[in-house]
Amino acid sequence: MRRPLVRRLTAFVAAALLVPALAGCGNDEDDAGLVIYSGRNEKLVKPLLDELEKAVGTKVAVRYGDSAELAAQILEEGDKTKAGLFFSQDAGALGALSTKGRLQKLPQASLNQVDTAFRGGAGDWVGTSGRVRVLAYHPGKVAKVPDSVHELTRPEWKGKIGYVPTNASFQAFVTGMRVLEGDEATRTWLKGLKANDPKVYENNLKVLEAVGEGEVSLGLVNHYYWYEQVAEKGEDKVDAKIHFLPGGDPGALVNTAGVGILKGSDQAPVAQKAVDFLLSKKAQTYFADETKEYPLAAGVTSTVKDLPPLDSLDAPKIDLGKLDSLQETLKMLQDVGMV
């Protein structure tokens, strides 16, 4: 679950990427051979990072928090940061560190395991797993599912849409729309969506549940929430369905979690072992089976039933590193009254 908005906004009130209120730490960083700052949720990745500790052969300490806040913390700490590896929930935070020159170039062998669309243009971060923005819908309430988020501003959807404007994935999608279509078009779309009286929820899971219960007809979510529910309950027990948007629509953004090694860190050799582990078949299978995300390393494919292959998706073409302008996105969301 995301922090309350006031915590998230704290991360964006100074300089290029603003100073955060940091979450609590994991084990003792002073005694560790590798310190990971993880924007990925502890409940989600702790089992995997426990395996990573065995794989790299040294004690690993993990500091968990919001990806943007942790990236800001790294910038604030500078060369004094204890982090050797940054494990981000999204590409934008990695792009912010890359822009500021805080990540070191990764070996080409590591980069080559992942498609160029899911790694940094400067070769200093690499994606570990992917997720897709989709439309959740209630088949009993939607005769024809929209094929674009731009359709959501039409009158017929007034009061029938659920979303989480404070959610990092929604904000990354809005940032992607700004990159693809420009600020003016994005602001116009946000105003149109706001005028359609969408219902605000606490998180993506609540949106999906609201769609399934018929409380709203449509919801903006990530794909894996639906597949997790299906795995838990069975597809016949999940009333909501999901629709992958075609035509390179901005609502079909494929974002990625990923890792980068902090430049100048004396932990770089063991951090590289950690990168290699996260791209290994074992870790990639974990993402596919446990988190229902797309594995990104070559040679590993998802085993999730009915999940469309990643290369079959008609996602927008975008440099994911350019999703680093979250500060501007947050200001836009504030200006239109969404946060």
Question: Do 146 and 199 belong to one domain?
Answer: yes
Helix (H, G, I), strand (E, B) or coil at 88: strand
Digitized pLDDT (tens) for each residue of the chain, 339 residues in all: 444 444 444 443 333 333 343 343 445 898 899 999 999 999 999 999 999 999 999 999 999 998 989 999 999 999 999 999 999 999 999 999 999 999 999 999 999 999 999 999 999 999 999 999 999 999 999 999 999 999 999 999 999 999 999 988 999 999 999 999 999 999 999 999 999 999 999 999 999 999 999 999 999 999 999 999 999 999 999 999 999 999 999 999 999 999 999 999 999 999 999 999 999 999 999 999 999 999 999 989 898 989 999 999 999 999 998 999 988 998 999 999 999
- Structural domain contains residue 216: yes
Question: Do 70 and 202 belong to one domain?
Answer: no
- Identify the burial level of 114 via C-beta atoms within 10 angstroms of its C-beta, where 0-12 means exposed, 13-18 middle and 19 or more buried: buried
Exposure letters 131-154 (e unless 16+ CB within 10 A, then b): bbbbbbbbeeebeebbbebbbbbe
- Structural domain contains residue 202: yes
Question: Do 51 and 88 belong to one domain?
Answer: yes
Side-chain-facing half-sphere of 10: CA atoms under 13 Å: 13
Question: Do 32 and 67 belong to one domain?
Answer: yes
Question: From the centroid of its chain, how far is CA 339?
Answer: 19
- Identify the burial level of 305 via C-beta atoms within 10 angstroms of its C-beta, where 0-12 means exposed, 13-18 middle and 19 or more buried: exposed
- Structural domain contains residue 204: yes
Q: What's the domain range around 287?
A: 5-130+254-307
For the chain, the domain total comes to 2
- Structural domain contains residue 161: yes
Q: Is 0.95 surpassed by the pTM of this model?
A: no
- Structural domain contains residue 319: no
